[in-house]
Structure 1
Amino acid sequence: MVRPSTRTPDHLRNHSLSFFDQMAPPFYVPLLYLYPNDGTAPYDDDLVESRTRLLKLSLSKALSTYYPLAGTMTTTTTAGDGHHDPLTVRCNDEGALFLQARMMNTPLDSIVGEEARLRLLFPDDLAFRSTTLSTLLVVQITSFECGGMGLAVCASHKVLDMSSLCSFVNHWAATSAGGPRHRIEQSVRFDLAALFPPVSKQVTKTFDPPNVRTVCKRFVFGGPSIGKLKAMMRRHKIENPTRVEVVLALVCSSAISAARTCCLSSSSYVGSRSRLGSAFLTQAANLRSRLTSPSSTTSSIGNLSSIFAMSIGAGVEMDLISFVSTIRRVKTEYFETCSEEYSSGKDFRSFIVESTKVFRDAGSSEEPDVAQPRVYISSSWCNFPIYKADFGWGKPVRVTTAAQELKDTIVLLDTRDGDGVEALVCLEEREMTMFQCDKMVLTFADVAYV
């Protein structure tokens, strides 16, 4: 365990989770940073030991600032239903779990292509998994024979969203690197529980994934391909389309098409009743820059994001242009309503709970003949500063995440050059086969590292 370098003061010993922390799913968010050989010998025990020592020392210092990450989660039983909801972090300086490993017979530049080996780089198979561990932060460094290094971070989503996770890792990296070129960013705040207190009732739902075989694959949309997609949008009067809009629209529309094709081709296809209904695309929304006040939320650590959804009616055929247009319209309307609700003086939390209803109710019907809507869960990690993490031996050559096992999920990340998008898509096995053959996917994406 790596503990904070300084003891957490008594008045900070209990960190209350906010309403948004309460809404967050109870799993670990994984990020993997890959660093190439910097010109030293292929494998140097002394160098590995030196870097490991530096990482531990700087992590200890970083945990003194991000002290809740060195604590343990406690639970409170919600009155009436017996539901155990984590509402408090005991900031007891227990520390973060720090693991070390060595990868044999696999070059760094090919590890992303071998999903089984890639998952070994993440701590104890925690990526996107719920756990009984009370530890909130787990780190694993993996040394490669080529001299490269993998640094995996798994942090509890109950205390960090992607914005806060990036802030923490970059703070840790700057502490490790030192020097004027690696300035540590502004001070951080842990005030979200005061701004958005938790509610007493259960607002999240735990559900088991369907018992179907899923496949998660990586697709890279390079800058030139995205440029062509943007040009297509502009020709149809969609101004300034973003990378996320065009890639998400292409991926989701192609996934829906694959699901419908599989359903229509076989009446015995598993779960066919759910594929004949309508579909929803949910998107995670970072609210830090969307709230009119307080401005301090930009440096507040914790969760400050929500979910909104667009619907696609049963049997409705929506081309890529319409899909992008609808994504933009729904997103714009959501953020406008969000700002209005926050500024109105009403209970902002009620609005957030209602906006996540589609996600929370997914698969809730027990009627065998009722066509349930398909819910595609997307999260964009684009435009977060994930490639800034220089611990003193250069910036990462690649930053990625682990493959998910929950079907109908889409995670988007930046490519290293900032122009492209890497999409991790998890679908039912047969649907993935159809998805890969989709004309738009074949035209604009590369099946990467499969």
Structure 2
Amino acid sequence: MAAVPETTEIEIVSRETIKPSTPTPPGSIGLSLFDQLCPVLYVTVLFVYPPAGEGGSADKARRLKSSLADVLTRYYFLAGRIKDGSRSVECNDEGAAFIEAKVNCTLEAMLSKPELPVLKRLFPIDMESMEAASGLLLLVQANLFECGGLAVGVAISHKLCDGSTMSSFIEAWTRTARNPDETLAPDFSLPTLFPPLDNRVVHNPVEELPKGLCATRRYVFDSSKVSELKRNATSAAVPVPSHVEAVSAFVWKCAANASRRSFGAPSRPSVLSQAVNLRRLLVPRLPENSVGNFIGSFHALNSDPEAELQQLVGKLRASSTDYVETYPRRLQEGRESAVMAVFEAGEKFARLMMDDGLDFYNCSSWCGFGFYEADFGWGRPAWVALESTDFKNSVVLLDAGDSKGVEVWLTLRVADMEELDHDHELLEFASLNPGITW
């Protein structure tokens, strides 16, 4: 079956404001220091459902709207608006946006070879919209296909949402859709533990992520290839590598080699910065449903162009171990220590990111967030997808549909990607943008 062209018609047929189904407590909810320093973006994810269950896609859209209104009675801050320059959310029940769109093709046709520019149009707002700091905090786009299939694009302001928050919201929403009595409540610990600073004294070390003339590719590592990479990564230093360590180190190796070839600089060093969900590292641990941003990152440097997978995984593990032993402790040694730790980490991130003498890869793993459990009442999604970006050297990992493989969404400079397209080792382990079946 031929791929769907970029001219595929996606027609917006309605746009509504969804408010909590019952009035919620007035007032405001504070944002945390981590929220305050977060770039102005939306966190986005797409859930794709094949034709299944009772009713057509229009009936499913109605269920999405009614359950969204119900879940907003608990996640009511998502129906509010940011005020005080990213220091709090006014909980005023102004509502979230719900957009309904019709797609003039079948889901099977679109997913036979997913075209990333077409997928981008299934999201309700551009990821980089400045509205993330001043307007709608939650937007949903229900895309109805001719065959009865459905794709649900969700966008939440990064000012109060990381991958963990997105995961907990989606779990609460889908539970509500299946049974309104099962709604999960969010936890608001973070603003109390890490209150924001006066905006007049805040200098954000990472104002924005680097961009450029970039290309995005989607690679899928099936479970057998992930297992093989883990075996190849095993060493005395790391006897049991995780699947995230093995896959991210392998992609790092391939991308850095492509950059060296495109620059004509065989000894060019590189850094992999790996995002970390800090909730599980505090003592006591924070609940996974604590809303807001609570992400750190550790950095592994490689200056050896001959380094193999074992060595790169060893560097990742050593950097991770050092980070886990030091950074969370500093966050819990009092307000001054925490603020210093956060800004020092931000300054290091910015310094490495802006260093023209090395390649800086910013890696996030969404593996284990349970997005394939997002059942609104008509079954699990056939596919969970991301939005392509122009952020240079971005690496995002997420579970494949069988929960054993790994998808990698990789964004590089066009020149680097052209080199990577001829990397036989990468293509031996990963399939380039395969079709989705169910």
TM, length-normalised to structure 1: 0.86
Aligned to 1:153, the other structure's residue is in SS state: strand
Deviation digits for residues 284-307 of structure 1 (CA, Å, limit 9, x no counterpart): 1101111013x4443321111112
Counterpart CA distance in 2 for 1:93 and 1:409 is 35
Determine the structure 1 residue equivalent to 2:51. Answer: 37
CA RMSD, aligned part only? 2.3
Maintained 8 Å contact 2:41/2:157: yes
Determine the structure 1 residue equivalent to 2:70. Answer: 61
Counterpart CA distance in 2 for 1:220 and 1:202 is 39
Determine the structure 2 residue equivalent to 1:397. Answer: 382
Counterpart CA distance in 2 for 1:15 and 1:109 is 44
Determine the structure 2 residue equivalent to 1:320. Answer: 309
Which consecutive unaligned segments of at least 5 residues does structure 2 have? Answer: 1-16
- Aligned pair in 2 of structure 1 residues 235, 15: CA closer, same or farther (>3 Å)? closer
Counterpart CA distance in 1 for 2:415 and 2:104 is 33
Determine the structure 2 residue equivalent to 1:122. Answer: 123
Aligned to 1:299, the other structure's residue is in SS state: coil
Counterpart CA distance in 1 for 2:205 and 2:154 is 24
- Aligned pair in 2 of structure 1 residues 139, 318: CA closer, same or farther (>3 Å)? same
Determine the structure 1 residue equivalent to 2:320. Answer: 331
Deviation digits for residues 129-157 of structure 1 (CA, Å, limit 9, x no counterpart): 44465110000000111211000100011
Following superposition of structure 1 onto structure 2, how do residues 272-287 of structure 1 map, counting pairs within 5 Å?
278-287=269-278
Deviation at 1:364, TM superposition (A): 4.8
How many residues matched? Answer: 413
Determine the structure 1 residue equivalent to 2:191. Answer: 193
The residue type equivalent to 1:280 in the other structure is: V
Deviation at 1:3, TM superposition (A): 0.4
Determine the structure 1 residue equivalent to 2:179. Answer: 178
Maintained 8 Å contact 1:18/1:194: yes
Deviation at 1:26, TM superposition (A): 1.4
Aligned to 1:289, the other structure's residue is in SS state: helix
Counterpart CA distance in 2 for 1:364 and 1:443 is 32
Maintained 8 Å contact 1:363/1:372: no
Determine the structure 1 residue equivalent to 2:359. Answer: 374
Identical-pair percentage: 33
Q: Which moves more between the two structures, 244-253 or 48-57?
A: 48-57
Q: Note if 1:299 corresponds to 2:315.
A: no
Q: Note if 1:9 corresponds to 2:25.
A: yes
Which consecutive unaligned segments of at least 5 residues does structure 1 have? Answer: 41-45, 77-85, 266-274, 366-370
Maintained 8 Å contact 2:301/2:315: no
Deviation digits for residues 92-131 of structure 1 (CA, Å, limit 9, x no counterpart): 101101000011125346346111211111013x235444
The residue type equivalent to 1:410 in the other structure is: V
Counterpart CA distance in 2 for 1:276 and 1:106 is 48
Counterpart CA distance in 1 for 2:205 and 2:42 is 16
Determine the structure 1 residue equivalent to 2:159. Answer: 158
Counterpart CA distance in 2 for 1:291 and 1:209 is 30
Determine the structure 2 residue equivalent to 1:80. Answer: none
Determine the structure 2 residue equivalent to 1:88. Answer: 88
The residue type equivalent to 1:335 in the other structure is: V
The residue type equivalent to 2:203 in the other structure is: Q
Aligned to 1:215, the other structure's residue is in SS state: strand
Counterpart CA distance in 1 for 2:43 and 2:256 is 26
Q: Which moves more between the two structures, 223-232 or 277-286?
A: 277-286
- Aligned pair in 2 of structure 1 residues 279, 131: CA closer, same or farther (>3 Å)? farther
Aligned to 1:361, the other structure's residue is in SS state: helix
Maintained 8 Å contact 1:359/1:375: no
Q: 2:368 aligns with which of 380, 383, 388?
A: 383
Aligned to 2:360, the other structure's residue is in SS state: strand
Maintained 8 Å contact 2:267/2:305: no
Maintained 8 Å contact 2:50/2:107: no
Q: Which moves more between the two structures, 409-418 or 346-355?
A: 346-355
Maintained 8 Å contact 2:139/2:154: yes
Counterpart CA distance in 2 for 1:107 and 1:386 is 20
Maintained 8 Å contact 1:25/1:204: no
The residue type equivalent to 2:246 in the other structure is: V
Aligned to 1:64, the other structure's residue is in SS state: coil
Counterpart CA distance in 2 for 1:158 and 1:374 is 27
Deviation digits for residues 295-334 of structure 1 (CA, Å, limit 9, x no counterpart): 4443321111112211223x65321110011111111110
Deviation at 1:440, TM superposition (A): 2.5
Maintained 8 Å contact 1:236/1:321: no
The residue type equivalent to 1:285 in the other structure is: V
Q: Which moves more between the two structures, 406-415 or 278-287?
A: 278-287
The residue type equivalent to 1:326 in the other structure is: K
Maintained 8 Å contact 1:32/1:400: yes
Q: 1:342 aligns with which of 321, 327, 331?
A: 331
TM, length-normalised to structure 2: 0.88
- Aligned pair in 2 of structure 1 residues 209, 337: CA closer, same or farther (>3 Å)? closer
